A and B are shown apart, each in its own frame.
Chain A
Amino acid sequence: NAGVTQTPKFRILKIGQSMTLQCTQDMNHNYMYWYRQDPGMGLKLIYYSVGAGITDKGEVPNGYNVSRSTTEDFPLRLELAAPSQTSVYFCASSYGTSGNEQFFGPGTRLTVL
């Protein structure tokens, strides 16, 4: 099992460009999450999904969009990239919520210049 995979590992964007961060899990987990991690701060939840076809906003959703057409995939879309979106992005998945650990992908380091 590969677990949670993310692509790309690194990316540099210019202000105003768009991109999609890919996330796939092969554990048949219903729950998937997107977080961003900034230096000196805790992980912040961007969007999450409780199953295929269902997505919801987290704490910091502005400037991002997601879709969940299959159980395995949960891509994160950045429209009109801004320097404030420079961060490390982690995708995670879990079997359930309470008591269930979240499994994280390796992360995407994004720089917006």
Chain B
Amino acid sequence: GQNIDQPTEMTATEGAIVQINCTYQTSGFNGLFWYQQHAGEAPTFLSYNVLDGLEEKGRFSSFLSRSKGYSDLLLKELQMKDSASYLCAVMDSNYQLIWGAGTKLIIKP
């Protein structure tokens, strides 16, 4: 079967750095996506990795290791508005997204 695992919840302090892990087992791999979802809202795209290594986008960066089957989303200089759920999704061999349940990130002042 196909499986995406993420921690259910994480807590971090404003101004700090947090790393959210996503491990996956899927039938095929055509890229990994990270989305942000604020409570009651739609998911919005954060990052995409298809090759091993780091993709950086401002305060957000994402690392992929295909051989070990995981990705880490790194958020720096945390702000209160970063309180949200972070969804990991892998595109499988049928080019369909398989989604993790999401990690709820709580930012404390």
Residues of A within 8 A of B (CB): 40-45, 48, 58-59, 90, 97-99, 101-107
Contact = CB atoms under 8 A, between A and B. Distances in A.
A42 B50 contact: no
Main secondary structure of the interface of A (DSSP, over half): loop
A103 B43 CA distance: 8
B45 A102 contact: yes
Interface string B2-14: 0010001000000
Given A97-B95, A99-B50, A101-B48, A40 B43 contact: no
Contacts of A102: 45, 97
Contact of B95 (A43, A98, A103, A104): A98
A105 B42 contact: yes
A101 B102 contact: no
Interface of B: 4, 8, 30-31, 33, 41-45, 48, 50, 87, 89, 91, 95-102
The 5 nearest A-B residue pairs measured at CB: A42-B99, A104-B42, A101-B45, A97-B95, A43-B99
A103 B50 CA distance: 19
Given A101-B33, A102-B97, A90 B42 contact: yes
A40 B101 CA distance: 6
B100 A42 contact: yes
B96 A58 contact: yes
- Residue among A41, A44, A101 with the highest chain B CB neighbour number at 10 A: A101
Contacts of A99: 31, 48, 50
A92 to B, nearest CB: 8
A90 B97 CA distance: 14
Given A42-B102, A43-B43, 12 more contacts: A40-B8, A42-B4, A42-B87, A42-B99, A43-B99, A44-B99, A45-B96, A59-B96, A90-B42, A98-B30, A99-B50, A104-B44
